[in-house]
Amino acid sequence: MLFLSVNKNFSCRITFEHLCYLPAFFTLLLQYIFQVFNSKTAELLSHHQVEIKQEFPREGWVEQDPKEILQSVYECIEKTCEKLGQLNIDISNIKAIGVSNQRETTVVWDKLTGEPLYNAVVWLDLRTQSTVESLSKRIPGNNNFVKSKTGLPLSTYFSAVKLRWLLDNVRKVQKAVEEDRALFGTIDSWLIWSLTGGASGGVHCTDVTNASRTMLFNIHSLEWDKELCEFFEIPMKILPNVRSSSEIYGLMKAGALEGVPISGCLGDQSAALVGQMCFQDGQAKNTYGTGCFLLCNTGRKCVFSEHGLLTTVAYKLGRDKPVYYALEGSVAIAGAVIRWLRDNLGIIKSSEEIEKLAKEVGTSYGCYFVPAFSGLYAPYWEPSARGIICGLTQFTNKCHIAFAALEAVCFQTREILDAMNRDCGIPLSHLQVDGGMTNNKILMQLQADILYIPVVKPSMPETTALGAAMAAGAAEGVGVWSLEPEDLSAVTMERFEPQINAEESEIRYSTWKKAVMKSMGWVTTQSSESGDPSIFCSLPLGFFIVSSVVMLIGARYLSGMP
């Protein structure tokens, strides 16, 4: 999306972003002068977006093509610049570029050719479950050094085990490492390296927020950790340099924005925290995207959760600036359940239709949907869970299932909010929200009802892109965006108040918890992690052999009959 706003400081900001389940966001920042009418923010919207294809080569595997991701960025930059021209805005006024991305998705590429050595292994991917279980046995029960150093539980979610799988199973990756040609990175690293020159001098770096999601980064020393790299058997030479979230990393080497500095880099949830201006200890936001992510700023101190939340780096907005931390509740499936209803079940033709279906009935009629497609994340961290729809009757129809899907997003948010309130000790009085799903008014009202606190949505819900723009504009050497509290503009908000009584809210929530318990323990570790075909792939041959034996026995039996 191209977002142009004129604020009280007379600076015009243009934000370009990928929406809808994309692994990367790009943000363009433009400083321009406009007249401000009535001392209020004026806004002008335009957009271009490209949806990236997801590949599911096997059950539980999720991949994307890194070259397609990069090409989509170039396409969106070109189209955005064209639209700026149509608005009579000179693109030479674009001062900086910021990058934000889904954090844990893993890429390995050849630094000599610039070619990816395998598809990007997406954060939702489950192929490494047996690796996680085997590594867990090597961590002493009284000394979980992985969690104490990284703030993260050992899980398929994070990059280290995905990288370990690539090193174990992809010969092209193994050979490139042996020949010192391999580079590893999350999507931000892949994009920055490619856009700043690639094989011809591209900058191989990441920022502290993305590094903190690899399970190889010490969130206290802010460095790659030798003990963690040895534990996961990851060669440190393939890791990117770790930088702050706001500094000039390099210049664009091609395209319409050649020469423009890339000066902001934040993982998507950290970018949303910045975009929501949650700079104070105790401020929190919830982002509704593919998954659902609730972050609470804990200031300059690491707070370790006792209720299933993650400790993560929130941001470090400058080389000489302090690092800030956050508690995070991560839900794997939020917007992805809407996509599933569209692409897998076909009960809607577009994501927007779900609001219409849910509005028709106004209730799930006792139907509960637990979308544990990738197991359960916070606060359970239960990989054996799988999705279930329960409470079905002959009366249940697609409208009730649509409503139950929206409720599921809200119930999952309630679970992580409850955990955060227990860890922080002071319950949130309201919830700040953002992300594409917040355009769904039924969802927002349901969320207020289920949390039984007000839900507050900014007028520009895609705050992830705004946060990346703020980081890029505030970088030393760019300096077109001040992050000082007195310089930050107030954001207009839409507010949703609870409309049901607290008792009804609790009854619905307790029934949901019963459904969650029923979703657990459905699967055991698959033995096919290496990618070898499972025995079930030979079922047609098996049926042929069995049927041949049966026919032979039958023929002999019949030939012996009088």
Confidence of residue 461 (pLDDT cuts 50, 70, 90): low
How many CA atoms lie within 13 Å of 120's alpha carbon, on the beta-carbon side?
29
Taking 70 as the threshold, does the pLDDT of residue 541 lie above it? no
Residue 497 CB neighbour total at 10 angstroms: 11
- Dist. CA 73–CA 532, nearest whole Å: 34
The 10 Å CB-count burial string (b at 16+, else e) for 380-406 is bbbbebbbbbebeeeebebbbbbbbbb
pLDDT above 70 covers what percent of the chain? 84
Q: Is 248 exposed, middle or buried (0-12, 13-18, 19+ CB in 10 A)?
A: middle
Distance, in Å, from the CA atom of 550 to the CA atom of 542, rounded to the nearest integer, reads 12
Size of the chain, expressed as the number of residues it contains: 562
Q: Could you tell me if 434 and 458 are in contact, meaning their C-beta atoms sit under 8 angstroms apart? A: yes
| Pick from 255, 278, 281, 301: nearest CA to 293 | 278
With CA atoms as reference, report the closest residue to 454 among 498, 407, 502, 509: 498
- Can you tell me the mean pLDDT for 514-524? 89
Which residues lie closer than 8 Å to 360 by C-beta, 6 or more apart?
399
- pLDDT tens for 222-233 read 999 999 999 999
Give the pLDDT of residue 86: 86
Beta bridge partners of 116: 109
Alpha-carbon span 425 to 416, nearest angstrom: 14
Distance from CA of residue 230 to its chain's centroid?
27
Check: CB of residue 310 under 8 Å from CB of residue 152: yes
DSSP 294: E
Q: How many CA atoms lie within 13 A of 176 on its CB side?
A: 24
Q: What's the token pair of residue 485?
A: 């509290």
* Strand 310-315 relative to strand 284-288, pairing: unpaired
Residue 157, classed as helix, strand or coil, is coil
pLDDT band of residue 30 (cuts 50, 70, 90) is very low
pLDDT at position 510, please?
Answer: 92
Q: Name 184's bridge partners.
A: 108
pLDDT computed for residue 28 by the predictor = 53
Using the predicted structure, report yes or no on whether residue 301 has a pLDDT greater than 60: yes
Q: Which two tokens stand for residue 180?
A: 């010192």
Question: Is residue 17's pLDDT more than 50?
Answer: no
Q: What is the pLDDT of residues 346-390, one digit of tens each?
A: 999 888 899 999 999 988 889 999 999 988 988 998 888 999 999
Calculate the average pLDDT of the chain: 83
User: Token pair 């104070």 is at which residue?
Assistant: 280
**Taking Cα atoms as reference points, which of 260, 267, 335 lies closest to residue 19?**
335
Identify the pLDDT of residue 34: 30
Residue 47 — very low, low, confident or very high, per pLDDT cuts 50/70/90? low
| pLDDT recorded at residue 404 | 95
Chain segment 384-393, per-residue pLDDT in tens: 899 999 999 9
pLDDT of 41 higher than 50: no
> How far from chain centre, in Å, is Cα 26?
15
Residue 479 has pLDDT above 90, yes or no: no
Are residues 50 and 61 in contact, defined by beta-carbon separation less than 8 angstroms? no
**pLDDT value at 545 more than 50:** no
> How many helices (H) and strands (E) in the chain?
16, 24
Peptide bond into 562 cis (omega under 30): no
* φ, ψ (nearest 5 deg) of residue 232: -90, -5
To the nearest 10°, the Cα dihedral for 194, 195, 196, 197? 50
Q: What are phi and psi of 260, to 5 degrees?
A: -80, 135
Count Cβ atoms below 10 Å from residue 47 Cβ, excluding itself.
Answer: 16
> Between 502-519 and 398-424, two packed helices, what is the crossing angle to 10 degrees?
100
Per-residue pLDDT, 504: 84
Cβ atoms within 10 Å of 506's Cβ, excluding its own: 12
| Sign of the dihedral defined by the CA atoms of residues 538, 544, 545, 550, in that order | positive
Query: Which letter does DSSP use for residue 341 in this model?
Result: I
Instruction: Give buried/exposed letters for 533-543 (b at 16+ CB in 10 A, else e).
Output: eeeeeeeeeee
pLDDT mean over 443-464:
89
Instruction: Show the tokens assigned to 533.
Output: 């075909």
3-state secondary structure of 376: strand
Q: How far apart are CA 67 and CA 191, in angstroms?
A: 10
DSSP classification of residue 238? G
Q: How far apart are CA 28 and CA 469, in angstroms?
A: 7
Q: Is residue 106 within 8 Å of residue 64, measured between CB atoms?
A: no
Average pLDDT over residues 473-492: 81
